[in-house]
Structure formats: structure tokens, C-alpha cells
Amino acid sequence: MFSSLSFLHATPESLVRKLTDLPPAPKVLHTLQRLLMTPDVSLGRIAEVVKLEPGLSAKVVRMANSAHFGRGAAVEDIMEAIQRVGLQGVHELVTFAVASQLVGRPLRAYRLEAQAVWSRAVACAIAAGSLAERSNANRSEAYTAGLMHGLGLVVIDKYWSKQWPPRRALASAGYPADHAFEERDWLGFSHAEAGAALLELWGFSEGVTTAVRHQLAPEESPPAHRPVSMILATARWARSLFCVPEEKIPELPTELWLREAGVEIADFGSWLRQIRIRYTLACEELRLG
């Protein structure tokens, strides 16, 4: 059992290495990334890799049957699912299924039910992917960062659950800081740094880990990864609007964030309507379970 004093001078990296009950590393994603960079890789080889992770194939098939991934005639196995989305869509589809296993769980430290945590990830991913398309940023990295942006909440929740006497739940200050004020007051770092540390440990790309690390202050991101960081910070606004009703209408992202994320103020309303439609559809069809 961890005591509060054992992490008096903790870092995000030491926390993710000490906690033994975090979700397992999604090794299938790394293998899949390597395969997709291999010339003439076959769909059959990709299907074999996905089948290696228990429970993942069923999730992939179920999600491939949703309108979010272009539903047509129902698919019944992993091969048909991959054929439906093709090589370009398979990474997104599998990442979506993996993310549901990683972040789709209740977080008592934040008073969030599993479905609420998952809905936030879905909303952020859809908004981030859309912004990447508008700004010609790396869509795969933006989408993955959106799905995984709350992973640090899982890390801190695990540590919170080990405290004795029990700590009170961590309150949110609303967008853009979310829970960072109370997290930093307690630990000296936020869920953004904790999530990035775990993604880095698991071997996710530098673009994804950097965007997650700088989601609260994207202007501090290194230039090479600043576009995706700005996209993630802005996508979190749509997530807050759709998924955190107690915040009502969150404070708008700064003009700098919007501009660098590829959104003009004049187009903001129409973009938001499109995202809301896609998010509502995804939430209806891609519920946990």
C-alpha cells in the first residue's frame, strides 16, 4: 500500500512506474503501426495481429458496424471489419477499440462514471480529427491524442484509491484547466503530465505524447508538435461543451489556439454543429459494453 509520504516528491514518470495495477500496454497498436508502414502488407496479416489481443477483435467488429465507421451491410468477423475500413482506416478503428479498454472505466477520484469518461474521449477524438483535416496536421496523431487525452486521470485515480485516510475527490475548475489546479496542489503535476508519461512508457509516438503533455498549455509545445497540441487543446473545448454540462458553456479557447488549430471565428459555429452531429451519432452506437 502506498502512503502519501512515499510520493511526496513524485514525478509523473515515477508514478506510472510504481503503480502496478494500471491497464496493460496496448502492444497491438505498435505492431499495427509497423505493419502499416510495410509496403504491400496484407489485410490478412493485420487481422492476425488484432486477433492476438483478447477481447479486441469483438470490439473492432462491433465498432466497424457503426455509422461512425461507415456502416453498410453488417460485418461478422475481424477480416470483414478491416476490409470495410481499409488500410487507411484500420489504425483509427483499432485505436478506438483499444482506447475503450484503457479509458472506459469509472474514476472515483473525479466522480466520473465509465460512460462519462468514454464519452469525453469520443468527443475529443472526433473534434481533434476534424480539426486536423482542416489544418492539414497529422490526423492519426490528433485523433489518438484526443482519445487518450484523459489517460492521466486513470493514473491519478489509481494512486488516489490507495490513499489512507481517503482523500476527497478532485474538483474541476472547468475548461481549460479542468482538474489541474487541485492535482498540482496535491502532486505537483497534472493529469496531462501523468498521461504523457504513461503513453511515453508504452511507446506511443512523440507527437501524441507531446500533445497530451501540453494539452493545458499548447503554446509551450515544441514547434514540431505544436499544431497537434493546439488541436487537442481546442478539441477539449468541444468535449467540455458536449460532455460536462455542469460547466454550462465553457470559456472559449484563446484566439491563438483557435487560429493555430485551423478554426476561423466565422466558421466556428458551423464546425461545432458538424462535430455535435458526429458525436451524438457515435455516442448512440459506440457505448461501452
Residue 3 neighbours by CB distance under 10 Å? 10
201-216 average pLDDT score: 95
Is 252 part of any domain?
yes
**Host H or E run for residue 141:** helix 139-148
The pLDDT of residue 2: 43
- List, for residues 97-128, the tens digit of each pLDDT value: 889 888 888 999 999 999 999 999 999 999 99
Q: Is residue 2 part of a domain?
A: no
Residue 17, domain member (yes or no): no
Same domain for 158 and 172, yes or no, is: yes
Q: Is residue 197 part of a domain?
A: yes
pLDDT at position 4 = 45
Q: How many Å apart are CA 194 and CA 213, to the nearest integer?
A: 8
Among 53, 88, 103, identify where a domain stops.
103
- Both 84 and 169 in one domain: the answer is no
Burial class of 43 by CB neighbour count within 10 A (0 to 12, 13 to 18, 19+): middle
The per-residue pLDDT for range 145-192, each reduced to its tens digit, is: 999 999 999 999 999 999 989 899 999 999 999 999 999 999 999 999
Q: Look at residues 74, 103, 132 and tell me which one is the last residue of a structural domain.
A: 103
Each as own residue / partner, the long-range contacts of residues 140-143 (CB below 8 Å, 24 or more positions apart, any chain) are 140/91, 140/92, 141/205, 141/207, 141/208, 141/211, 141/228, 142/211, 142/228, 142/231, 142/232, 142/235, 143/92, 143/95
pLDDT single digits (tens) 229-253 = 999 999 999 999 998 767 678 888 9
What residues make up the domain containing 92?
25-103
Asked whether residue 88 carries a pLDDT value surpassing 90, the answer given is no
Domain assignment of residue 234, yes or no: yes
pTM for the full predicted model: 0.90
pLDDT, mean of residues 127-143: 92
Distance CA 262, CA 125 (A): 16
Q: Which residue did the predictor score with more confidence, 16 or 251?
A: 16
DSSP 271-285: HHHHHHHHHHHHHHH
What's the whole-number mean pLDDT along residues 205-211? 96
Residues 58 and 130 in one domain: no
Answer yes or no: is pLDDT of 8 > 70.
Answer: no
* Last-in-domain residue among 76, 103, 130: 103
Same domain, 288 and 167: yes
* Residues 226, 119 contacting (CB under 8 angstroms): no
Tally of structural domains, the chain: 2
* CA–CA gap between residue 245 and residue 224 (Å, rounded): 34
**CATH number of the domain bearing residue 210:** 1.10.3210.10
Burial of residue 249 (number of CB atoms within 10 Å: 0-12, 13-18, 19+):
exposed
Q: Quick one: 152 and 60 in the same domain? A: no
Same domain as 275, residue 248: yes
Q: Does residue 10 fall inside a structural domain?
A: no
What average pLDDT does this structure show over 223-234?
97
Q: Domain for residue 7, yes or no?
A: no
Q: What is the pLDDT at residue 42? A: 87
pLDDT digits (tens, 9 = 90+) for 17-75: 988 888 888 888 888 888 888 888 888 898 898 888 767 888 888 888 877 776 667 88
Same domain? 76 vs 144: no
pLDDT score recorded for residue 37: 81
Same domain for 83 and 205, yes or no, is no
Model pLDDT, residue 72: 66
- Who contacts 72 (Cβ-Cβ below 8 Å, separation ≥6)? 84
Split at pLDDT 50, 70, 90, the class of 1 is: very low
